[in-house]
Amino acid sequence: MRKVVSLLIVLVAGISMQAQELNCSVKINSDRITNANNKIFKTLERSLSDFVNNTKWTSQTYKQNEKIDCSMFINISEYNSDQFVATIQVQSSRPVFNSMYSSPVFNYNDKDFNFTYVEYENLFYNPNSFDTNLISVVSFYANMIIGIDADTFAPEGGTPYYEAAKTIQTVAQSSGYKGWNQSDGNQNRYFLISDVLSNTFAPYRAALYEYHSGGLDLMGDNQTTAKEKIKVAISSLSKLNNVRPNAFLTRVFFDAKSDELVSIYSGGPKITVTDLLDNLNRISPLNSAKWEKIKF
């Protein structure tokens, strides 16, 4: 009987290990803080890592090798008692089929990340309530990471996860913290989730799928075809640019993809890139110096 119970415990533990979606590296940088015990920052780092990696964010079951690789780098600039002033850099990547390469899909620096935290306080995920800005911001980006990842594997596959992020944003609007409201600026959490769910920005989501599943995932079989498919994804962004020049989501896309695009089109079989370069320079002129490195 004891062996049966032990076996059940192992099986349940295995299921639990497979349930979570994120493989997230959480780092706290407190180098600028000189008047506090560094222990609280280490405790915060461990607590957030446990929270992000052990929370079940969706109703889906992920195998261990299906977890999404991501990171959250929190840079603390001010600290007083339980008050923190910080920024958070969020990054995620997804594997490319038939390769050892991991492609960056999200790279965003949120500069409005003030929060309260008392050492050893419990962190619980509840999208329908605002408990602390720490929990809400981290939970928001956890759902964004999952949503963007899902969009790379299926057309608009990330919708339910974006909707969860939208719920978090809506609930947090009345919290008084910056980044949740339209009035807080034109490039923040409010616009990030509102734009992603807007039909106007559907070409951004189409580009995520075309670029990854239609393009990168073919690299192992046919690099020429893959490069042509990735050009199609950039064309989707060009359509968005025609309607919304200098769109926030366009910048978000190229913050993750600019270096990768240069690498893709600077080696391997050559294809015509004149139209690609025209689109890139028109859509993302801030990266023009990078586009010059793409070889004909």
Tokens 């089929």 belong to which residue?
97
Residue 170's contacts (CB-CB under 8 Å, 6 or more residues apart) are none
Contact of 188 with 112, CB cutoff 8 Å: yes
Per-run averaged pLDDT (10 residues), the chain, 296 residues: 36 47 97 89 97 95 91 96 96 95 97 96 95 98 98 97 98 97 94 97 96 95 95 94 94 97 93 95 96 86
Q: What is the 3-state secondary structure (H, E, C) of 216-232?
A: HHHCCCCHHHHHHHHHH
The pLDDT value recorded for residue 19 is 54
The region, left, alpha or beta by phi > 0 then psi within -120 to 50, assigned to residue 156 is left
Q: How far is CA 208 from the centre of its chain?
A: 12
Residue 296 has a pLDDT of: 63
* pLDDT at position 162: 98
Instruction: Decide: 94 and 215 in contact? Cβ < 8 Å.
Output: no
Q: What is the pLDDT of residue 283?
A: 96
Question: First-to-last CA distance in the chain?
Answer: 70
